[in-house]
């Protein structure tokens, strides 16, 4: 079991192995992460048939009885997001029809999260729509990691446990013992996230990048609020998509005299041209977690991938045993 300065994980493997009512099932989205979670819990992933018909329709069949069981379905809704969402709905429905006692959708990454409000007329609030669909499919509760905005928790009409992967990154940074650290928010909207990160990183000072977004996935950096000259700047965000925001932020930090620039994010979405931007040499290191699968062709020398499997596994166990989840982060 991992022990750290920021997480309290309890040794529970033996009691988990003795519990016959807990079941773990995995979709296709990130099987390696699901296997790591299962290893932490001392369990095997439940046997399933997952396939596609010739017309692209998804088929799922659970290969063991789950009647009366508490089932945890692990499925980040990442690219291809619509396929992975549909597979999640089908798995939930299969569990419901198989008389599972409780169905928990474990979402290491929640797709469509950025469509969390209307910014113009005649738009959909897709984050709410997806929440409705998960509930309608038959999920009894949701376990999500680092939602894009806190308000998404209120979009679900079923219980939701929201956990954060930042302690895994913070422990890694503390072990590096970096000098003169300043935590930087890449935009005003991420200030609360960066402030909480800085507090856990030995109360490091905070800086903010002021930018103007002119279109989706296009960001124009304007200036830096705070002192970064001669410091080790750590840019903190919840996700890296095309890498435009965080790479432009790194460039202006360098221009303002930052000695080193690190990028930290929980979700490595890495849509083109993210790899070219992140590997351009502007970052000392790009630190992400494995909530999403990162294929070999998207890896580069500066990339560091940390695992959140133990954190998710411990949370699953605490939810199953009806113990406190928030106490892990104290």
Q: Which of 176, 211, 231, 251 is catalytic?
A: 211
- Using CB atoms within 10 Å of the CB of residue 158, give its burial: 0 to 12 exposed, 13 to 18 middle, 19+ buried: middle
DSSP conformational letter for 156: -
CA distances from residue 143 to 8, 71, 129, 134, 153 in whole angstroms, order as listed: 18, 12, 17, 12, 10
Taking the domains of the chain in order of start, what are their residue ranges? 13-164+309-329, 166-306
- Using CB atoms within 10 Å of the CB of residue 215, give its burial: 0 to 12 exposed, 13 to 18 middle, 19+ buried: exposed
C-alpha–C-alpha distance, residues 9 and 288, integer Å: 21
Confidence of residue 4 (pLDDT cuts 50, 70, 90): low
The pLDDT tens digits for 158-207 are 999 999 999 999 999 999 999 999 999 998 889 999 999 999 999 999 99
Q: Which two tokens stand for residue 227?
A: 């002192």
The CATH number of the structural domain formed by 13-164+309-329 is: 3.40.50.2020
* pLDDT at residue 19 in the model: 62
The pLDDT tens digits for 83-108 are 999 999 999 999 999 999 999 999 99
C-alpha–C-alpha distance, residues 42 and 57, integer Å: 33
C-alpha–C-alpha distance, residues 190 and 183, integer Å: 11
Q: Across the strands, what pairs with 183?
A: 206, 234
The CATH number of the structural domain formed by 166-306 is: 3.40.50.2020
Nearest to 156 by CA among 173, 168, 144: 144
Answer yes or no: same fold for 13-164+309-329 and 166-306: yes
Active site residue 211: yes
């Amino acid at each position: 079991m991992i022990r750290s300065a920021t997480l309290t994980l309890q040794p529970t493997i033996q009691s988990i192995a003795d519990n016959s009512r807990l079941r773990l099932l995995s979709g296709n989205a990130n099987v390696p992460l699901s296997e790591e979670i299962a290893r932490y819990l001392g369990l095997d992933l439940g046997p399933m048939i997952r396939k596609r018909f010739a017309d692209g329709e998804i088929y799922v069949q659970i290969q063991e009885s789950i009647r009366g069981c508490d089932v945890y379905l692990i499925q980040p809704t990442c690219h291809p997001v619509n396929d992975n969402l549909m597979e999640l709905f089908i798995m939930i429905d299969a569990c419901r029809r198989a008389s599972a006692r409780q169905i928990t959708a474990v979402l290491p990454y929640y797709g469509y999260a950025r469509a969390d409000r209307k910014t113009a007329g005649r738009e959909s609030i897709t984050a709410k729509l997806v929440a409705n669909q998960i509930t309608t499919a038959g999920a009894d509760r949701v376990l999500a990691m680092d939602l894009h905005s806190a308000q998404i928790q209120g979009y679900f009409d079923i219980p939701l446990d929201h956990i954060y992967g930042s302690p895994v990154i913070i422990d890694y940074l503390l072990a590096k013992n970096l000098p003169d650290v300043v935590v930087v928010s890449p935009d005003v909207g991420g200030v609360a996230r960066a402030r909480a990160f800085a507090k856990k990183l030995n109360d490091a000072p905070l800086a903010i990048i002021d930018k103007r977004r002119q279109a989706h996935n296009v960001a124009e950096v304007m200036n830096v609020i705070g002192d970064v000259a001669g410091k080790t700047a750590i840019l903190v965000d919840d996700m890296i998509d095309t890498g435009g925001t965080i790479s432009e932020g790194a460039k202006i930090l360098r221009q303002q005299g930052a000695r080193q620039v690190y990028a930290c994010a929980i979700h490595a979405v890495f849509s083109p041209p993210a790899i070219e931007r992140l590997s351009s040499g502007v970052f000392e290191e790009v630190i992400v977690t494995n909530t999403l699968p990162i294929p070999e062709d998207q890896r580069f020398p500066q990339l560091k991938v940390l695992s959140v499997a133990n954190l998710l596994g411990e949370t699953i166990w605490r939810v199953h045993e009806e113990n406190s989840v928030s106490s892990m982060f104290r």
